[in-house]
Amino acid sequence: MKKWAKWGAIAFAAWWIISRPDSAAGVVRSGAGGLGNAAESLSQFVSAIP
């Protein structure tokens, strides 16, 4: 069952990227921005530790 779900998710992602590339790029951009913010927050936290 997990194998079918995995392939279904991959097929859906491929269809979405092909049919709406602008929307898919926006999601990737948002995700990358979120990871950047998380890394910056972690860096500030580690820097604040004496």
Average pLDDT over residues 4-26: 91
pTM (2 d.p.)? 0.56
Q: Alpha-carbon torsion 34, 20, 14, 25, what sign?
A: negative
Question: Is 16 in contact with 23 (CB distance < 8 Å)?
Answer: yes
Residue 17: exposure state from Cβ atoms within 10 A (0-12, 13-18, ≥19)? middle
Q: What integer pLDDT is reported at residue 36 of this predicted model? A: 92
State the Cα–Cα distance between residues 4 and 20, nearest whole angstrom: 24
pLDDT in tens, 17-39: 999 999 989 998 998 999 999 99
Please enumerate, as own/partner, the contacts of 22-31 that have beta carbons within 8 Å and a separation of 24 or more. none
